[in-house]
Structure 1
């Protein structure tokens, strides 16, 4: 015969298993979001993995404190150095993704001379404006 204490223990284990199962789904969603963000930022996600760092009370976009899962991951830009990043998840919803300071490679369009930039040598060679 099941006693109330036995029923409580079974419900406690079932709740813990359900929480772990849901946490695995949230981890998979966080990994997909990190992959997409790394592609957008033109960095390489290392080990193709995110790891739970902590559970924490963080503020969401509305300023309310909510329980968040904070996952950590590593990425590289040059292939030589590992950099650390983190992603916070409020349930299935993204909180924020942070990447540590890292070098970035300038593309050809970034090195082109923009039209609104005046270089110092060009400025010095201009004649002074007329005074009235």
Structure 2
């Protein structure tokens, strides 16, 4: 009977250690995803903020005004920076997911679904980040409440 208890203790300890390692790997993976997503959004914002001829022509084809290009570029930069700031990461990922839903919808409606894969995959990645950083939304809410 003593052996069984010792075995159970060892198993529990091993399980706790495994959970700790899995949690650390998850945090590292989430950081990597956040960094990669931030880089993608910064890269994507550059042609919009510099009003590259390709970006202007693409948005004109859809019927969006030129100011809208700058707005989307600014939102992408803000979202990318928010992904890298821990208290803002969940909110930034959620907002970027909504932005990508709009991009997917636009690609489907305006272009018949051509090149819809990039915003769709990016939206899924930001949704995963939003879920992984959901605790930061609670922290942000508590921080804002305590500031009152």
Q: Report the TM-score, using the length of structure 2 for normalisation.
A: 0.36
Structure with max Cα Rg: 1
Pick 1 or 2: higher relative contact order, CA cutoff 8 A, min separation 6. 2
TM-score computed with the length of structure 1 as normaliser: 0.40
Structure whose residues are more often strand by fraction? 1
Name the structure with the higher helix share: 2
